[in-house]
Amino acid sequence: MESFRSTVSGKQYAVKRSNHGEIGFYIACDDKSILNCVNTMLLNNGVVGLSDGSGKIHYLIDGRRGEAYATGRVREKVLTLAEPVNDPKLDEVYVYMAIDTALDKHGFVPTLLGTQILRFLLLQLYRDPRRLKGVMKELYPMATPVFHVTPGQVERNIRYAIKKRKKDGEVTRIVTLLRLLLDETSEEILHVYGRA
């Protein structure tokens, strides 16, 4: 365990680090110091968790980075706080059913390889939404051993599935489409199964 002291806006604070994470104690004597500490934490992490007197945790999300970022951080926190499921295979079935509903709603042809790859990628994104940040470098390579294709072929097959879907004129950018389908999948799971 390591501890150190630092100064922010003339006020001292102490931070204790342990192997399990970081615990910070901030002593603020005025409103400006409080705002400076919160702003620093938001700039560093994008989210701040505050505990009230009854032990409930309230999260403050930095909305200055845009709606997509804020939504992703909320989803990230909700998914980490979600109730554990006793049977992971059963959970996976519910997620796939919600993914299929979202894909069908957007007119994707289920027999196309690109649609099957999208289905697989959406499951991976549901498990960890942070993977959306690295679609080319992190997400596509996850599909290559499963479907025996290269990352370039993954993208080409997805673009073909987007082109051949029954509903034209909708979103065609892959990252935007993945985000939209992930949101709809989470909403479907929440609506039908009562949890995200």
In-domain check, residue 75: no
Residue 115's pLDDT band, with cuts at 50, 70 and 90, is very high
Taking only the tens place, the pLDDT of each residue in 31-54 is 887 788 778 877 777 777 777 777
Give SS3 for 128: coil
Per-residue pLDDT tens digits for 149-190: 999 999 999 999 988 887 666 667 888 888 888 888 888 877
The dihedral region occupied by 148, where left means phi > 0, alpha psi between -120 and 50, and beta the remainder, is left
73 lies in a domain? no
Same domain, 115 and 178: yes
Would the pTM of this model clear 0.85, i.e. be above it? no
**Number of structural domains in the chain:** 2
**Domain span at residue 26?**
2-66
Work out the number of other CB atoms within 10 angstroms of the CB of residue 162: 22
Same domain, 125 and 188: yes
- Verify that 126 and 172 share a domain, yes or no: yes
DSSP state letter for 85: P
**Separation between Cα atoms, residue 76 and residue 91, nearest integer Å:** 18
- Evaluated on CA atoms 195, 75, 119, 121, the torsion sign reads negative
Element (DSSP H or E) covering residue 24: strand 21-26
- Regarding whether 93 and 117 lie in a shared domain, the answer is yes
Q: What values do phi and psi take at 151, rounded to 5?
A: -55, -35
Residue 72 lies in a domain: no
Taking only the tens place, the pLDDT of each residue in 57-111 is 777 777 777 776 677 767 666 655 555 445 555 577 888 888 888 888 888 888 9
Report in angstroms the alpha-carbon separations of 136 from 126, 132, 150, 170: 17, 9, 11, 22
Question: Nearest 5°: phi and psi at 18?
Answer: -125, 180
Q: Considering 13, 39, 66, which residue would you say is the last residue of a domain?
A: 66
